[in-house]
A and B are shown apart, each in its own frame.
Chain A
């Protein structure tokens, strides 16, 4: 039986990837940010799952304006780093886990989540920056990855409630997979940030910290937060935080908080990172 045992969330700012790739992580601007991930890197070395289901959003890399899937599941054997205009990031090709992805596609669609299924998908900084933050710069990523791309670029994105329900459905589907596997679920993006208009640079520490608390203790209530409140309190790009609710739904009702980190700024963004263990790991 497969089981979801832990989850984490992290921002996925492109400049973080550039800082890693260009060897700038020890510079004064970046050091406090990368120091904040040292605990997690040590934890991740001791807790290597078979598969990471990685919830992220594409940033006009794989999806053009011609196609806007709300939820798109990566069902291929591998996913290449996307060329985002500066050349692909010098990171390993992401190895998928097609048997579990096929199982999830079946389970989730029959559970009435009408996914888009991706058999070719180049993955951009939204997916590769979290891998770099947790696993550093290995020759090969130590885990298989199933990408789950969520539209948070064009409004309306899915509601927080729908994301939370999808997470719960992922948990059910994983538990029905008849192979002994450990799965972690990552939610990425956020926290407060706005990359457009005169309001750009918007950061809301109070909101972000309350979001952390509610994610742990009151995910049902948090899932009811309307989009307008995300934009008002976390900025137009802060809407990425709905993706964290997929992770939270997938961990079951009770979680143990293992680690939390918050830092401003990473480029234009508030960096938020939390590691959770599922209380019920059946």
Chain B
């Protein structure tokens, strides 16, 4: 790992989409892009597992999609702008989908945003604990 990439590992609750992660998540993200086409969305919704099996994705990636576990998708090289095609297919907004990664109920997350968002305090650095 380069020092550039390693620096980001110190930021809590964050997976920066590096060139290495882009390679790891390539097929997952390409699967997401395929959902831009209405006919693919229909086929995916009709049988998610069968549609996923058409892609050379890892089992972890497929399971994360089936579970709509967005943090696990990020761990497996997914990027939010590609993953957006999945939650658009599900009829969810960015706000709704993003909230699922925080462990907060959507109502609490929405309330936090309206109150000014998540404070940076405690979320800057693992090392410095600030």
What is the CA–CA distance of A70 and B45 in the complex, to the nearest angstrom?
Answer: 34
A138 in contact (CB, < 8 A): no
Proximity bits, B102-125, A CB within 8 Å = 1, else 0: 110000010011101111100111
Nearest CB of A to B3, in Å: 10
Interface size class of A (residues with CB under 8 A): 35 or more
Q: Which of A55-104 contact B (CB under 8 A)?
A: 59-60, 64-66, 68, 83-86
- Which of B47-55, B57-65, B92-100 touches A? B92-100
Residues of B within 8 A of A29 (CB): 114
CA distance A196 to B26 in the complex (A): 18
Q: Which residues of A lie under 8 Å from residue B119 when comparing CB positions?
A: 203
Give Cα A268 to B101, complex, Å.
Answer: 13
B75's nearest neighbour on chain A, judged by CB, is A197
Does B94 contact A195, Cβ atoms closer than 8 Å?
Answer: yes
With an 8 A cutoff between CB atoms, is A232 at the interface? yes
- Partner-A contacts on B (CB < 8 A): 4, 7-8, 11-19, 22, 25-26, 29-30, 32-33, 35-36, 70-71, 74, 79-82, 84-85, 88-89, 93-95, 98-99, 101-103, 109, 112-114, 116-120, 123-125
Residues on A lying within 8 angstroms of B by beta carbon are: 14-15, 29, 59-60, 64-66, 68, 83-86, 153-156, 192, 194-207, 227-228, 231-233, 236-237, 264-265, 267-268, 270
